[in-house]
Chains A and B, each alone.
Chain A
Amino acid sequence: MVHEKSLYEASSQYRHWRFSPAQLKTTREKLNAGAIQVISAAFETENPGSSSTVQFVTQQEELSLVKLYASKLPQLCFSSFKLPEHVCATAVTYLKRFYLRNSVMDWHPKNVMLTSLFMAAKTNNTPISIDYFLSIIPKTVQSDILELEFPIAQSLDFEFAIWHPHRALWGIYLDVQVLEDVPMDLDRIYSEAVKLIRDSWLTDAEFIYTPSQIALAALHAVSPPLALQWMRSKGGSEQLQAILLQIQKIIKEEGTVPDVEEVRDIDRRLRTCRNPAKVAGSAIYQQKKAEEERIADEKRKLKAAAAKKAFEEADPFGADLRRESSNGSTPPGK
């Protein structure tokens, strides 16, 4: 038999959403630089000479901002909406993946965070109606959410299925119970490992490591002997141990909520350097909308003219239906 790939290896997550730390850094730097370039140009169009005074946010600052909004998701999910762990984890992943394709200067993370949650609920079979969603979220209107669905879906390449470490941890939790000397405080170990996994949501761990590696790293951080015993029972390698330590380091160094004051300052600065083409009401935004409308209008006119022509040329009742369906050709009426 041919070696069958593991299910995880066939997933879109494994195929398209794994990166090295260097790749992540380059991607974000490029996004940041690209956004600055476009926005500077837009400022110049609107008001020549104005871009030189703007203090753009840096790639690091973008990341802090996204992280802060990601850190708001658990409370929203668990307390406000009573949604399960995987919906929250999915929303966090959507938010983070979105900013591997976009800059906060183009899309402010607040609504992206909310829409990620709204969509994660749907993709995990626990949809929330928009009215109910908005009744819980203050100062947000329908269009804030619904208009972002497509940009987010596009940025995710319509790949909605996410594999999460907490599921892998649950598997290990069940597994270790058949080992000898199961610790008495297994449930405490488990719930602390869950907390570490939630900390990992704020890091790049999920882009670099597999969900099972992150789960094991969390368990290993709480109870090294238990993790090692489980690894021995599965034939785990030395190499794996090194990986666990790397993951633990990332969680420890990056898995904390950024300082709110600092982020507030970034957010304040962001208001002055947002892409005017994305801010409703700005001259450039109006211009873009008008252009889009003009093109759409032209297309509509063309279509109507073509339809009129077709109508005038052909029998308005179309070809004979019976003949069409019995000779196996496609139905008429195009």
Chain B
Amino acid sequence: MDTSVKANEEREKKWAKIAKVGEGTYAVVYKAKEITTGRQVAIKKIKIGQFKDGLDMSAIREVTYLRELHHPNVIELLDVFSHKTNLNLVLEFLDADLELLIKDRSNVFLPADIKSWMAMTLRGLEFCHRNWILHRDLKPNNLLIASDGQLKLADFGLARDFSDPGARMTCQIITRWYRPAELLFGCRYYSSAVDIWSVGCIFAELMLRTPYLPGESDMDQVKTIFRAIGTPTEEEWPGHTKLPDYFAAGQFPRQPFRDLFTAASADALNLLAKFFIYDPRKRISAKEALNHPYFFALPYPTHPSKLPKSANQLAPRPLPLEELDGNTNGALSAKAAEPNKLKRKSAEAPDGPDRRVVSRRLDFTAV
């Protein structure tokens, strides 16, 4: 009988792997196609046999949330099947990410292009937040670009739902340069505002073409933020000095955004400042941001199909390869310096005595 085993086999038969494009300790990514339509897809094979505690948390999170989220600006999980001790995720095939585009110096970004990417990022994020899901790892590297120019939020390996007010959560989330001050101060009760800060960092990076707040350590990250945006006052952000990991990082005056973002419009600067409001309760929401005058002012956002594309799309990272965290491929050498070694904790467990730390890394040295 075993209907579910049969159903699983049938699902597996729908897809044909074409070529291996990346291999790491925990996952292998294949370029594949749907047999009936020829549609290109990516299959991420997670080797579960290696995890002591069975199905690992990143895989569980990714499957749990992507199974529910269907939106043009969120990567689509087309199918899931298991094969022996492997879990296979069939994902939309996306051939570039925003980081690649930002780093490609041959591209010129018009203000309208940046507006288009921002709109798509916020639409995807607003949809996640509306569904009570926090992404918790937004950065250009996780914003993938489809061949038609659509931007899609990817890598939900750190995502979680936040429908339970007062639930204690881990603060070890979001790649450092995109992490808000409240998390750096050890805040355990937070909300969608953490993702918004990351969006602010991405917005700034799109304008500057280089990371806006590249701290060298968690301590230095706080300093970097304060140096750029000014040390928060008690009035601006009531109670922040009482946060568990608070430390006095020094007094820095606020640098007017206009001094650094010289080409930005007044609307853009106004929105940027709202992403970087220290008090998470006052920070703008994704929905409010989408209604901000910036998006209604000229120039209108570029149509996705007309957006700049990266010349070396397929070269270093041909797939929506979330595991690329910390990869050391020569073609992305600039990236190696990025603090991408975010640990994927199966934390937040009140019970388990030995919490497992899984950092999923793909090693491209074999390629």
Interface of A toward B, CB cutoff 8 Å? 7, 10-12, 31, 34-35, 37-38, 81-84, 86, 101-103, 106, 118-119, 121-123, 125-132, 145-146, 149-151, 153-155, 157-161, 167, 321, 324-326, 328-334
Contact = CB atoms under 8 A, between A and B. Distances in A.
Given A125-B160, A330-B318, A159 B67 contact: yes
B312 interface: yes
A198 B314 CA distance: 53
Nearest to A150: B82
Contact of B5 (A34, A123, A154, A324): A154
A130 B52 contact: yes
A83 B350 CA distance: 9
B81 to A, nearest CB: 8
B21 A128 contact: no
B3 interface: yes
Contacts of B131: 7, 10
B315 A154 contact: no
Given A122-B55, A151-B5, A325 B316 contact: yes
5 contacts: A12-B68, A122-B55, A128-B351, A128-B352, A334-B19
Interface string B20-41: 1100000000010000000000
B57 A122 contact: yes
Nearest to B9: A154
A125 B158 CA distance: 10
Given A131-B353, A158-B67, 17 more contacts: A10-B131, A12-B67, A122-B55, A122-B60, A125-B161, A127-B348, A128-B352, A153-B87, A154-B81, A159-B67, A161-B65, A324-B315, A328-B311, A328-B313, A328-B314, A328-B315, A334-B19
Contacts of A35: 1
A331 B317 CA distance: 9
A160 B354 contact: no
B2 A106 contact: yes
Contacts of A81: 351
Interface string B145-184: 0000000000000001101100001000000000000000
Contact of A161 (B31, B54, B64, B164): B64
A154 B87 CA distance: 10
A35 B350 CA distance: 40
In the A-B complex, list the 7 residue pairs whose CB atoms are closest, starting with the nearest. Answer: A129-B352, A325-B315, A158-B80, A155-B4, A160-B64, A34-B1, A334-B19
A103 B339 CA distance: 49
Contacts of B63: 158, 160
Nearest to A158: B80
Interface of B: 1-5, 7-8, 19-21, 31, 48, 52-55, 57, 60, 63-65, 67-68, 70, 80-82, 85, 87, 130-131, 160-161, 163-164, 169, 311-316, 318, 330-331, 346, 348-356, 366-367
A7 B64 contact: no
Given A132-B352, A160-B60, A161-B68, A103 B312 contact: no
Contact of A330 (B21, B55, B354): B21
B1 A128 contact: no
B213 to A, nearest CB: 28
A329 B314 contact: yes
A131 B331 CA distance: 42
A37 B131 CA distance: 44
B4 A101 contact: yes
Contacts of A145: 54
A194 B54 CA distance: 32
B55 A126 contact: no
A154 B169 CA distance: 29
A326 B20 contact: no
Contact of A132 (B64, B312, B354): B354
Contact of B60 (A38, A103, A123, A332): A123
A331 B367 contact: yes
Nearest to B316: A325
Contacts of A153: 55, 82, 87
Contacts of A10: 68, 70, 131
A34 B355 CA distance: 42
B353 A129 contact: yes
A333 B169 CA distance: 42
A315 to B, nearest CB: 15
A31 B19 contact: no
A101 B7 CA distance: 10
A329 B21 CA distance: 11
Contact of B55 (A84, A119, A334): A119
A127 B354 CA distance: 11
Given A158-B63, A161-B64, A161-B65, A325 B57 contact: no
B51 to A, nearest CB: 9
A160 B77 CA distance: 14
A62 B7 CA distance: 22
Contacts of A161: 64-65, 67-68, 161
Nearest to B85: A150
Contacts of B81: 154
B64 A129 contact: no
Nearest to A333: B367
Contact of B54 (A126, A130, A155, A158): A130
A142 to B, nearest CB: 9
Contacts of B52: 129-130
A123 B60 CA distance: 6
A127 B349 contact: yes
B74 to A, nearest CB: 12
Contacts of B316: 325
A328 B169 CA distance: 42
A101 B351 contact: no
Contacts of A329: 314-315
A167 B31 CA distance: 41
